[in-house]
Structure 1
Amino acid sequence: MRLKGKVAIITGGANGIGLAACHRFSEEGASVIMADFDEVAGKEQEALCKEKGLDISFVQVNVADRESVAKLIEETVARHGKIDVLINNAGITNDATLVKMDPADFQRVLDVNLTGVFNCTQAVVPHMIEAGHGKIINTSSVSGVYGNFGQTNYAATKAAVIGMTKTWAKEFGRKGINVNAVAPGFTATAMVKKMPEKVIEQMASAVSLQRLGEPEDIANAYLFLASDESNYVHGHVLHVDGGIMM
């Protein structure tokens, strides 16, 4: 097992890519904290995971709220005694072209996608420094690398996440902490699958591999970066996008 004995926090863990990652990590031996704002989905998924014998526990968190994040970290340490891996996966969209974007929607996306990553990482890092090791994986996006129509707020946060990843890699490498990012492309989450079939086909046709990514594709990238196999991978942005921008 590639994560045997490890303790991992996965934010946005109750749905989509985060849920796939929770399953994958537990299957590889990790004790997983499924951290999510959606209490109904979180408790439902926790029960299903327990039925499957997976070591996954739900903790409600608002990553944009520092007090909520502090409680998440305190509960994790109290329960498991350590934190080996943090996956900053939580994120939202609220799309509109620049001229139509409500400033409140701009700020809301920044609060979750950017400030949330800052809050969680700042709260976890002292525990990793004390332990002398840790893995931090931040979720960016191809939108943060290349931009995307109608996503001023989302693209800005995902570009900023790359900047923070590289900065933190410089700060924490000497402390034994690996910091990397994953940049997913179009991924077949439940939200995407609700789109009209024609739109999905157009999205897939833009990808070199001619298909959307599956949540498990992204979860496998998280797994590699969280495992000992990536101990010399640092400050890297791993594109998992089917070659969309080759």
Structure 2
Amino acid sequence: MELKGRVAVVLGGPEGVAAAVCRLLAERGARVAVVGGDELSVGDLVDELRWNGAEAVGIVAAGAGDATAMDSVRHSVLGELGAPEMLFVLACPVVTGGWQRTVDSGLTATFLALQAFVPAMAESGAGAVVTLAPVGTDPATNAVGGGVTALTQHYARLFADQGVRANVVSWTPRATTVDDAAFAALYLASDAAASMTATTLDVAGTLMRL
């Protein structure tokens, strides 16, 4: 899973699965754009990646659920690193604040990221997308997980003929499974999974969606 020189965009904040994916990408030589809402945390992760020899930039996107903000993220990535070849949308939805906030922070944010980045990947004729579908104990989280899965499969079918692959990691938000989810995401984006699209890898354990 050598990724030397490839441009990867990781949305989801500089912690949890997103942070673990950033570290795995950096270890394999990718050029990483870390996208999150907290400037200090983003900066800390970027500094860590650079300290370890990686090329990394931080992009603060306080309004990940806003189309204009997401488009600004895309332009920043293009200006800092060039056209992305890999997109990881690893948003773990906010479960406090009710149904709408959970859906917006998980499903809507994922849709806006795919809308902003995938068409450009299709124009270049290649791209790998990985999304994170959470499995939880509340209706809103599970609705986000199901929606993200269906949305990713839709994009996989829509852009398959243009060289873009899109796959899902189904995950239960637990600290003990973060590394498992991150490695699954890296595998799906790599050439080792070049023939896989519209696929879901389940690392949700006992809470897997049946």
Question: Which bracket does the TM-score occupy, shorter chain normalised?
Answer: over 0.9
TM-score by length of 1: 0.79
2:86 touches 2:189 (CA, 8 Å); kept in 1? yes
2:13 touches 2:37 (CA, 8 Å); kept in 1? no
For 2:127, the equivalent position in structure 1 comes to 134
Q: 1:106 aligns with which of 99, 110, 125?
A: 99
**Cα distance in structure 1, aligned partners of 2:124 and 2:5:** 14
AA aligned to 1:50 is: R
**Cα distance in structure 1, aligned partners of 2:198 and 2:41:** 33
Q: 1:177 aligns with which of 161, 164, 181?
A: 164
Is 1:120 aligned to residue 83 of structure 2? Answer: no
2:94 touches 2:105 (CA, 8 Å); kept in 1? no
AA aligned to 1:65 is: D
For 2:10, the equivalent position in structure 1 comes to 10
1:26 touches 1:54 (CA, 8 Å); kept in 2? yes
For 2:149, the equivalent position in structure 1 comes to 162
For 2:189, the equivalent position in structure 1 comes to 226
1:56 offset after TM fit, Å? 2.1
Give the SS at the match of 1:82: coil
2:6 touches 2:31 (CA, 8 Å); kept in 1? yes
For 2:43, the equivalent position in structure 1 comes to 43
The 5 Å alignment of 1:32-71 reads 32-61=32-61, 62-71=63-72
AA aligned to 2:142 is: A
- Larger Rg: 1 or 2? 1
TM-score by length of 2: 0.92
Give the SS at the match of 1:135: strand
1:109 offset after TM fit, Å? 1.3
**Cα distance in structure 2, aligned partners of 1:65 and 1:163:** 21
1:54 offset after TM fit, Å? 2.2
The 5 Å alignment of 1:185-224 reads 185-188=172-175, 212-213=176-177, 215-224=178-187
Q: Which string of whole-angstrom CA distances, capped at 9 and with x for unpartnered residues, describes residues 61-86 of structure 1? A: 13201111111100111222211011
AA aligned to 2:134 is: S
For structure 1, list consecutive stretches of 5 or more residues without a partner in the other structure: 96-103, 189-211
2:46 touches 2:58 (CA, 8 Å); kept in 1? yes
For 2:92, the equivalent position in structure 1 comes to 91
Q: Which string of whole-angstrom CA distances, capped at 9 and with x for unpartnered residues, describes residues 10-68 of structure 1? A: 11241111101001001111101110011121112222222222222110113201111
1:36 touches 1:42 (CA, 8 Å); kept in 2? yes
Give the SS at the match of 1:140: strand
1:136 touches 1:180 (CA, 8 Å); kept in 2? yes
1:135 touches 1:179 (CA, 8 Å); kept in 2? yes
RMSD: 1.7
**Cα distance in structure 2, aligned partners of 1:112 and 1:241:** 20
Give the SS at the match of 2:98: helix
Identity of aligned residues (%): 28
1:10 touches 1:87 (CA, 8 Å); kept in 2? yes
**Cα distance in structure 2, aligned partners of 1:216 and 1:12:** 15
